Amino acid sequence: MTSVEDVAAWWATGVSRMEPGVVELRGRPVQDLIGTTGFADMVWLMLRGEIPDPAAARLLEAALVAGVDHGPHAPSIAAARMAATCGVGLNNAIATGVNMLGDSHGGAGQQCVELLTDICRRQDGGADVATATAETMAAWRQQTRYLPGFGHRFHPRDPRRDPLLALVEQAVADGLVEGRFLAAGLAVEAALDRPGRRPVPMNIDGATAIIYAELGFAAPLARGLFVLSRSVGILAHAWEESQQGRRNKGPIPPGILPAQL
């Protein structure tokens, strides 16, 4: 016969503990966290089990801020806005947008961490950064012509790249992070900048991948953190759309036939 203790053991977790009158998150009473802990600190605590260095929290927060929104043409945002007009709740609209974040839209940050990690791993095996970069790029291109984290469909130079990388450079100078992933990312960017060809600078996925990797987050968490960030934009768009009174919003305005496009 299953006992209460068996059920408690089945659901035991280091993330949180709840009993009558008790809520603990990573072993810390929630009442001690409320009003004293920022949201980026809280994300770090829940994922890593500790309160981060304030400078590390600010770097994480910068990456989260940068990924919040990229306009209503982004599939995750467009889907959430359409869902918000279909008689579903705000939570359903947010879930619709989040569920659009897959390998092609939302997964580049995770993939870029894997790319940069591959470069660093080859360096650990004795290759210099240029050789490690060339070998990694060649290996990736055997699978796909797309190098995650570099180039952008809309921006000749992603406006989020420079401020994010400047923060990483400062973090390296301050001794907060080592800078290996930054060096790897810049090496890829340099290798893509060939004479006579259009430059392919790093985009936000590459810049945030460097931040997440430098801060020690595993590659899958780079996607999870992007989802967390983009959820804020999805919420804002879904809420705005829900207040505009449209019903059953489709991908094109009413009165325009697909044959006219």
Give every CB contact of residue 226 below 8 A, 6+ residues apart in sequence: 67, 101, 106, 109, 110, 205, 208
State the CB neighbour count (10 A cutoff) for residue 87.
9
- pLDDT for position 139: 95
Rounded-to-integer distance, Cα 185 and Cα 38, Å: 29
- pLDDT for position 167: 98
Max Cα distance, the chain (Å): 74
Domains of the chain in sequence order: 13-52 (no CATH), 53-249 (1.10.230.10)
Q: Please state, in angstroms and as integers, the Cα–Cα distance from residue 43 to each residue in 105, 110, 172, 228, following that order.
A: 23, 17, 22, 10
What pLDDT tens digit does each residue of the chain (261 aa) get? Answer: 678 888 888 888 999 999 899 999 999 999 999 999 999 999 999 999 999 999 999 999 999 999 999 889 899 999 999 999 999 999 999 999 999 999 988 899 999 999 999 999 999 999 999 999 999 999 999 988 889 989 766 767 788 999 999 999 999 999 999 999 999 999 999 999 877 677 789 999 999 999 999 999 999 999 999 999 999 999 999 999 999 988 989 888 887 766 655
The secondary element (H helix, E strand) that includes residue 24 is strand 22-25
N-to-C CA span, the chain: 66
- pLDDT for position 256: 75
- pLDDT for position 120: 97
